[in-house]
Each structure stands twice: as C-alpha cells, then as structure tokens.
A and B are shown apart, each in its own frame.
Chain A
Amino acid sequence: EAGVTQFPSHSVIEKGQTVTLRCDPISGHDNLYWYRRVMGKEIKFLLHFVKESKQDESGMPNNRFLAERTGGTYSTLKVQPAELEDSGVYFCASSQDLTDGYTFGSGTRLTVV
C-alpha cells in the first residue's frame, strides 16, 4: 500500500512569492489533514478535510493560506504571499477512521527567505 505522498520535499522561496504544496493521501482515506511544525515549536493542526469538504480549518494561520481538495483525492495547500514566519515543515496525514492514529507524509520543508 502506498503511503501518504507529499511534494515537493523542500522548497525555498522569497518573501512575497507563492508556493503550492501537494499531498496524495492513502487511497480510500476520506480524512486528510494538514499540520505544520515551525522551528522550536510542536506540530500544530492546520485543517481537516472529509472527502472534498473542509471539516475544520480553525488552525489556518490567516487568509494567505488556501487549502483545496478537489474531487476528494489529493489536496493542495497554497501560501500567497509567503512571509518569513511561514517557514517550517508542512505535514499531510490521512486516516480512514476519525479516532485512529494517522499516517503522515514525509513533509515539505518550506524556507521563506
């Protein structure tokens, strides 16, 4: 079974530019999550999709972040325009059941300079 796949693995962009991160969940997993770890902090929730619907986006930092999951398969997370404080590792995770542990992708390390 293929795991959760994220692309790119690394991205270095300048402040003010746009970056789009992609996540392919495990096939058949309705629940898809985005999390983020910024330097020196714990991993924090950003948002949760159930199929193509946003179930909870309470963790999104501000309106510079836009997540989509068209067709209920892969998801994208766009940051526009990027700021220095957006640097960190963005993890995607998926699960079949809401209370089970999730499977995480290997993350996208974003550096904004």
Chain B
Amino acid sequence: EVQLVESGGGLVQPGRSMKLTCGASGFTFSNYHMAWVRQAPTKGLEWVASISNGGDNTYYRDSVKGRFTISRDNAKSTLYLEMDSLRPEDTATYYCARHIVDYGYNYFDYWGQGVMVTVSS
C-alpha cells in the first residue's frame, strides 16, 4: 500500500525558514517523480514544486522560486521541502504527492495527509 507521511509543519514567523519532510513507503521511491501541493485555508489546490525521480530536475511555481528548495534522498525514500523567507501568504496545508508523468501529461496519483504551515508573527 502506497503511503506518504508528511512532518515538520507548525507556526513560524515571517522571514524565517522551515523544512518539511515526506516519508514514502509501499512503492519504489526512486522510480517516481514527486511533488508538493499546497492548500491555503478554505482555498483551492496550488502546485508548489516537483522533482524528477533521480533528483536532477526541479520545477517551481514562480511565487516560491528562489525561496523554496525541493530535494529528495532516494536511499531513505524521503522527500523534502526547504522553505526560506516565508511569507504570510505561504500559510497552507502542504501535501506531498506522487507525481506521474504519463505520455507527457502530469498528475498526482497518491497524496499524503498534509501538514499545516502557519506563517505569522
């Protein structure tokens, strides 16, 4: 059974940093792209970043480019999101998701339970 378990969220002040972790099990982690998708309170879903299966290629939405870093450790089946210079608008539940690239189309077939990040003074 595929499982994705996020950790590392909480309350952080604007301008500070936070690192999220996603532990994966139930599949061969190194064979799959992975992603972070977030959801602000009472809002819709927003793709944040993705990383290729080997970690060579990373992709970000413009609003987090230069502030967030997605990375992975295939030996530990773990995905990370390092978030710097956090802003109140980064407040959201962050989901780890398995990212499928299928005939050129990209979608997310498994999701974690999510972890809440609150950016506030």
A binds B: no
A contact set with B: CB distance below 8 Å? none
